[in-house]
Amino acid sequence: MLSYRGTTPPHVDQYLTASRTVATLRVSLASEHASSNIFRQATELYQHALRLAVRLGHLDMVLNLAEQQRAVALYVQRDRPALHIPPHLQATYEQQRTHLRSLIGADRTGTAFADALTAYLDTLLRVRHSATLDVAQPAPQLAIAALRARLSTAHPEGWTVLTYVDTGDVILLLRLDADDLTLQQIGWDTELQQLLRLATHRQYRMKTYLDIQRRQATGTRWATLNQLGARLIAPALPDTLTPDQRLLIVPSGRLQAVPWAGLRVGDRWLCEQAILQVLPGLAAQPAPLPATDNHAALLVGCSTFGNRAEDLPGVAAALDLVAAHWHGSATRLVDADATRRNVLTQLKTNATGYRLIHIASHAQMVAAQGLLAHIKLTDDDLLLDEIARLQLQGATVVLGTCEGLAADVMPGDEILSLSWALLAAGARAVVASLWAIYDRAAPVFLAPLYTALARGDDVPRALAYAQRTLIVQAETVDTKEAACYAPLAWAGFCALGVGGDCG
């Protein structure tokens, strides 16, 4: 383990200056794809700088280099004023959006889909650059002392940050707490790659999160999740961690798909040992809370989709459960009322914003085409870029949808996912799942989640309460209902927020 405190050596300032130049270029482009392409061209420089910083034991520099190049487009979109499509691009945008949406479920092997996607990307870039960018440039240094002070104020029970840097051949694991900054190096060996496949790929999900090997008496209990926890978490987990303390996790690259709550350390679930929160990075401040007297909620639910998707018969019951726990007013848009126009109108015309937005519907992440991620509404799909342009004013968003946290990860940790789009739109916190949410299991999970939110818990604490409740109840439930309480039902959920303090 490396631990270092000190000032930046003068002869490595050039690397930090070059890194800031790359980050400044990425900020000016304001597009995930363009930003990622700039980073891709500078990858060799970035990796050389990281290796030098590690060799010198200069962990402040490692952290600064990593944070300068994380989630640049997300911060740009979140911090700029509301973006509107200019009149001269509106017709083109709508035509291309409609055409692209019609191709989502079609055969995409020919050139028609690629051409439609390229045209759509070009129009999006023109839309984003139609407004003057007034976004702060990358800071010369991450203000670590100020970050520590902010986290200590937000989390008086205690906190630890685990931030991962995927360099391609090695994972750098930095642990930051109130007193120290340390580094562990984790090799990308074949064992770790196999463990990640078992923990993150759809074809292994039932086997891993229902512990089928153990049930067939052919292996040790939760073997994959224990081994992955030992590789990714145990080396840096503080001995003094308690269940009320905050564990803030900043993933990178391939680790964006890890269901952190479902990892095991010391034969216990990680979500039992700390309150988990996933962050895009450490450089940004949290979104402001909505007005304190605003307790309005928007509840959106779609149970029928024609021939576009299978019905979801449990949607109405899920929204009833949310409404029963919510103390404020609630606007419901269900089925025939849950159209694209109505949802967008509600979000644009509510001047004070919503404290809570709950969406119960289908959602989909299209493999390797994150721009096509969408939430299905009654009459149409709400595409990723439309979600990112919303003005959510610090709302908490609960995605009762499949794959709300699933991501298309590009170089430079530019992420295309529904959850990140909601953060870009100004959400303070997002609760979403990496994988499918089963209709029958949803109320079992939502009941403790909203019980905790109703009593005033912040979002990560409420999620921890829900996951811990299901873990305890799993010991006594009837075998027929066991799947509703298994890690398959709760491990994929994460609390995602910007800045380490989401209400």
Instruction: Convert the pLDDT of each residue in 38-88 to its tens digit.
Output: 999 999 999 999 999 999 999 999 999 999 999 888 888 888 777 778 888
- Per-residue tokens: 24: 């400044």
Q: Are residue 186 and residue 273 in the same domain, yes or no?
A: yes
CATH number at residue 405: 3.40.50.1460
Residue 9 DSSP label: P
At 442 the three-state DSSP class reads helix
> Which amino acid would we find at residue 403?
E
Q: How large is the average pLDDT for residues 231-247?
A: 92
Which among 437, 259, 453, 264 is positioned nearest to 356, based on CA atoms?
Answer: 453
How many angstroms separate the CA atoms of 370 and 406, rounded?
9
Question: Residue 352: which pLDDT band, with cuts at 50, 70 and 90?
Answer: confident
Q: Are residue 69 and residue 218 in the same domain, yes or no?
A: no
- The answer for residues whose C-beta is within 8 angstroms of residue 414's C-beta and 6 or more apart is 32, 33, 35, 36, 39, 71, 72, 73, 74
pLDDT of 503 over the 70 cut: no
Domain end: 218, 250, 278, which one? 278
Higher pLDDT, 139 or 475: 475
pLDDT of 306 over the 50 cut: yes
3-state helix, strand, coil in the chain (%, to 5): 45, 15, 40
Give the pLDDT confidence score for residue 351 in this predicted structure.
Answer: 62
Strand partners, 188: none
Domain end: 215, 244, 278, which one? 278
Given a contact cutoff of 8 angstroms between Cβ atoms, the answer to whether 272 and 297 are in contact is: no
pTM of the model: 0.92
What are the E-state strand segments in 384-423? 396-400, 408-410, 414-416
Q: Are residue 444 and residue 377 in the same domain, yes or no?
A: yes
Domain-located, residue 156: yes
Question: Residue 460: which pLDDT band, with cuts at 50, 70 and 90?
Answer: very high
Q: Are residue 44 and residue 158 in the same domain, yes or no?
A: no
Give the pLDDT confidence score for residue 368 in this predicted structure.
Answer: 59
Please state, for a pLDDT cut of 90, what percent of the chain lies above it: 59
Strand partners, 332: 299
CA quadruple 109, 115, 119, 125: dihedral sign: positive
Q: How many domains does the chain have?
A: 4
- Flag the least confident range among 31-40, 133-142, 147-156, 418-427: 133-142
Q: Are residue 222 and residue 247 in the same domain, yes or no?
A: yes
pLDDT of 341 over the 60 cut: yes
How many angstroms separate the CA atoms of 137 and 116, rounded?
33
Domain end: 78, 98, 113, which one? 78
Q: How large is the average pLDDT for residues 461-479?
A: 93
pLDDT of 137 over the 80 cut: no
- Scanning 129-269, the segments in alpha helix (DSSP H) are 144-154, 190-200, 205-209, 212-215, 223-232
Give the pLDDT confidence score for residue 293 in this predicted structure.
Answer: 62
Domain-located, residue 99: yes
Give the pLDDT confidence score for residue 219 in this predicted structure.
Answer: 64
Domain-located, residue 291: no
Q: Are residue 53 and residue 176 in the same domain, yes or no?
A: no
- Flag the least confident range among 223-237, 291-305, 327-341: 291-305
Cα 265 to Cα 222, 223, 232, 239: the distances in Å are 11, 11, 10, 12
Q: Inter-axis angle of helices 442-454 and 459-473, to 10 degrees?
A: 130
Strand partners, 410: 414
- Flag the least confident range among 75-84, 242-251, 477-486: 75-84
Q: Are residue 116 and residue 214 in the same domain, yes or no?
A: no
Which among 101, 96, 76 is positioned nearest to 26, based on CA atoms?
Answer: 76
Q: Are residue 236 and residue 153 in the same domain, yes or no?
A: yes
The most confident of the ranges 192-196, 309-313, 413-417 is 192-196
Q: How large is the average pLDDT for residues 223-251?
A: 94
Residue 417 DSSP label: -
pLDDT of 255 over the 70 cut: yes
Give the pLDDT confidence score for residue 4 in this predicted structure.
Answer: 44
At 69 the three-state DSSP class reads coil
How many angstroms separate the CA atoms of 408 and 410, rounded?
7
Domain-located, residue 137: no
- The answer for residues whose C-beta is within 8 angstroms of residue 176's C-beta and 6 or more apart is 63, 144, 147, 148, 160, 161, 163, 282
Cα 254 to Cα 64, 65, 258, 405, 501: the distances in Å are 21, 19, 8, 14, 25
Domain-located, residue 41: yes
Q: Are residue 364 and residue 230 in the same domain, yes or no?
A: no
Q: How large is the average pLDDT for residues 159-176?
A: 94
Give the pLDDT confidence score for residue 118 in this predicted structure.
Answer: 87
Q: Are residue 416 and residue 467 in the same domain, yes or no?
A: yes
- The answer for residues whose C-beta is within 8 angstroms of residue 330's C-beta and 6 or more apart is 296, 297, 298, 299, 322, 323
Question: Residue 5: which pLDDT band, with cuts at 50, 70 and 90?
Answer: very low
Domain carrying residue 105: 84-128
Domain-located, residue 270: yes
What are the E-state strand segments in 147-303? 159-166, 170-176, 181-187, 246-250, 264-265, 268-269, 275-278, 297-301
pLDDT of 148 over the 90 cut: yes
Write down the residue that tokens 């060996």 correspond to: 189
Give the pLDDT confidence score for residue 98 in this predicted structure.
Answer: 87
Domain-located, residue 116: yes
Q: Are residue 311 and residue 236 in the same domain, yes or no?
A: no
Domain-located, residue 19: yes
Give the pLDDT confidence score for residue 128 in this predicted structure.
Answer: 75
**Mean pLDDT score of the chain, rounded to an integer?**
88
CA angle 460, 327, 243 (to 5 degrees): 25
Higher pLDDT, 265 or 112: 265
Q: Are residue 352 and residue 486 in the same domain, yes or no?
A: yes
